[in-house]
Amino acid sequence: MKRFASGFCFILLLLLFFSCGGKAGEAIHVNQIGFHPLAEKTAVVTDQKAPDAGIFHVIDEETGQVAWSGNATATGTWTWAGARMAVIDFTEFQAPGIYRIQNENGQLVSPRFAIRDTAYVPLTRAALRAFYYNRASTALEPEYAGRWARAAGHPDTLVLIHASAESPDRPGGTAISSPGGWYDAGDYNKYIVNSGISTYTLLAAHEHFPGFFGGLSAGIPETGDGMPDILSEARWNLEWMLTMQDPGDGGVYHKLTSPQFSGVVMPHEDTDPRYVVKKTTAAALNFAAVMAVASRVFEPHDPGFASLCLSAARAAWEWAVAHPEVYYRQTEMNERHRPEIATGEYGDADVTDEFDWAATELYLATGMPEYRQALDTERLLDPVVPNWRDVRALACISAARQFMPDGLAAGRADLSPADRRLADASAQCILNLAGTLRDEYRASALRVSMGHDRRDFVWGSNAVAMNHSILLIQAWRLTGERSWLDAAQANLDYVLGRNPTGYSFVTGFGSHTPMFPHHRPSAADDNSDPVPGFLVGGPQSGQQDGCTYPSNLPALSYLDDWCSYSTNEVAINWNAPLVYVAGALQAIFQDKKTGTTGL
């Protein structure tokens, strides 16, 4: 898409929006994809003043008939958007079809949505295919990429060792080959810690829901080769990550990057030199954790690859133990080395969580006591929502799954005392954190856990919502209680349109979606619509890009414009939890494994 179309289309969208009924500040927001028949189903009415707790109708789009009627309940002000809310709960309505919601006089009308058994199958597939669209070093063929086919770019077969990364065997300026992997985001660089958590999340999706994800066909070149597509896609990045390890010492380069962000060009048009930059402790540990998980997940499919991953993981761990405090500080590095590097930092001055995560995954993969002894179980009790910089909760997720595959109630009697301690700490870690999220969902005027902490509205806030849901789904798996699922569903509703901006934040999925994401291929190609299946970063009031926003309120500070890289970029670590959550909810409802409250 040529980006200068944006102003014109923005005005057109505004006109369309206001001609669709409803006054400014008054609207019905709903998940624009829709629901599985068994899911909790809510819509919200927002109003600057006070939404009436009046009657609302679910209208069948085909017949125009009223299919369900009920009241909206005023829930108070959702401070993140400074607006009063009322919630319409139509969970009891389960009939498949296509619907809209409107008030009695028909002045307020929601976007259309579906209720269907396969509610999230196309979305999950598209969100996974987004990874394929972001593959580096390969052409995207029309057979798989359709209108978004493109030439290969960034072969990365001659990548220079940056001065910050040199070692005796690999002096600065010499070249290594490091092809493949995914572009991180809307830029064309590849960063270990961010691709690590993204790859983990895809591997976990398959590990936790093998039935659904094992059968999900993504229409990628590997489809039909006997390997689940989600594992093939993850392997595309794992193979790249393996090339980022220095075979001389086991250390892992922090990133593979051009010195500056490229212009708004297609991949093959960006021919700037590329470098691997500085080995860091965070990169080594993140790599070690993900490779250990990969060894576990790939064991039944490809034992040779699994064992390669495990050796790489162990070597990276050894490097990190010997270099426990090598942090990535770009400004400092630029004072000492040339060329200057200006791309994404992904800096992290606390790697205790990376140590805990890597130790846990290596222990789960090998059973070797040395890894368990390196783990501080106490620290697992105080986790935060997982993100590229804080991965401690991932240790809890993996250990809880490994030791309690059938949930808490199934018992842990046959575990050794040490494993039992780890199992209990992991369960507590998940239930404590998920508990605060569920409390917020229950108390929230918007009925979402987003906003449980003011840091929820950060750069990439939509992924915070999805990572909340991953935790809530773990709590459901441990306990079987339905309410965890309802809270998880609520955040998916939020990113798909039940939010005060009225956007479904996934490109191509919904009736009001981002058209101008900060994604170079989407901006530089000839298509009028962006590459589909990408979750954009979402609202947050940092406004680090200096664009002009419609509001300074955290949940309204969003702009569908190329300019807005702080709210409208796409990124692999934002899409991976979308894949997980959409697929997990589909799998769960599909299997009707909805726990003790029954459905």
Which residues are at the interface with ligand G3I (CB under 6 A)? 184-185, 187, 344-345, 389, 458-460, 542, 544, 565, 569, 571
Parallel/antiparallel/unpaired status of strands 34-35 and 113-115: parallel
Q: Which of ligand G3I, ligand 9MR, none interacts with 457 (beta carbon under 5 to 8 A by kind)? A: none
Indicate if 187 belongs to the active site. Answer: yes
Residues 142, 144, 148, 149: is their CA dihedral positive or negative? negative
Q: Which of 10, 459 has the CB closer to ligand G3I?
A: 459
Q: Which of ligand 9MR, ligand G3I, none interacts with 458 (beta carbon under 5 to 8 A by kind)? A: ligand G3I
In the complex, the smallest distance separating the C-beta of residue 522 from ligand 9MR, rounded to whole angstroms, is 12
Question: Residue 55: which of 80, 73, 72, 79 has the closest Cα?
Answer: 72
Report angle CA 198, 382, 481 to the nearest 5 degrees. Answer: 75
Question: Residue 117: which of 102, 133, 97, 100 has the closest Cα?
Answer: 97
Parallel/antiparallel/unpaired status of strands 42-47 and 83-89: antiparallel
In the complex, the smallest distance separating the C-beta of residue 539 from ligand 9MR, rounded to whole angstroms, is 16
In the complex, the smallest distance separating the C-beta of residue 538 from ligand G3I, rounded to whole angstroms, is 11
Residues that bind ligand 9MR (CB under 6 A): 185-187, 261, 344, 565, 569
How many angstroms separate the CA atoms of 85 and 43, rounded? 10
Q: Which of 228, 451 has the CB closer to ligand G3I?
A: 451
How many angstroms separate the CA atoms of 538 and 558, rounded? 6
In the complex, the smallest distance separating the C-beta of residue 186 from ligand 9MR, rounded to whole angstroms, is 5
Residue-wise DSSP of 21-42:
S--TT-EEEE-SSEE-TTS--E
**Token pair listed for 203:** 């591997």
Indicate if 560 belongs to the active site. Answer: yes
Q: Which residues contact 561 (CB under 8 A, 6 or more apart)?
A: 6, 10, 516, 547, 568
In the complex, the smallest distance separating the C-beta of residue 331 from ligand G3I, rounded to whole angstroms, is 12
Q: Which of 398, 568 has the CB closer to ligand G3I?
A: 568
In the complex, the smallest distance separating the C-beta of residue 187 from ligand 9MR, rounded to whole angstroms, is 3
Q: Which of ligand 9MR, ligand G3I, none interacts with 389 (beta carbon under 5 to 8 A by kind)? A: ligand G3I
The residue at minimum Cβ distance from ligand G3I is 344
In the complex, the smallest distance separating the C-beta of residue 36 from ligand G3I, rounded to whole angstroms, is 30
- Where does residue 581 fall: left (phi above 0), alpha (psi -120 to 50 degrees), or beta otherwise? alpha
Q: Which of 254, 498 has the CB closer to ligand G3I?
A: 254
How many angstroms separate the CA atoms of 573 and 463, rounded? 7
How many angstroms separate the CA atoms of 252 and 191, rounded? 11
The residue at minimum Cβ distance from ligand 9MR is 187
Q: Which of 260, 544 has the CB closer to ligand G3I?
A: 544
Contact 194, 348 (CB under 8 A): no
How many angstroms separate the CA atoms of 397 and 376, rounded? 16
Catalytic residue among 249, 361, 560, 561: 560
Q: Which of 220, 524 has the CB closer to ligand 9MR?
A: 524
Catalytic residue among 36, 57, 254, 518: 518
Q: Which residues pair with 28 in a beta bridge?
A: 45
Q: Which of 189, 426 has the CB closer to ligand G3I?
A: 189
Q: Which of ligand G3I, ligand 9MR, none interacts with 460 (beta carbon under 5 to 8 A by kind)? A: ligand G3I
**Token pair listed for 473:** 């789904």
How many angstroms separate the CA atoms of 595 and 599, rounded? 8
The H or E element spanning position 71 is strand 66-78
What residue has token string 């976990």? Answer: 204
Indicate if 518 belongs to the active site. Answer: yes
Supply the residues annotated as catalytic. Answer: 187, 518, 560, 569
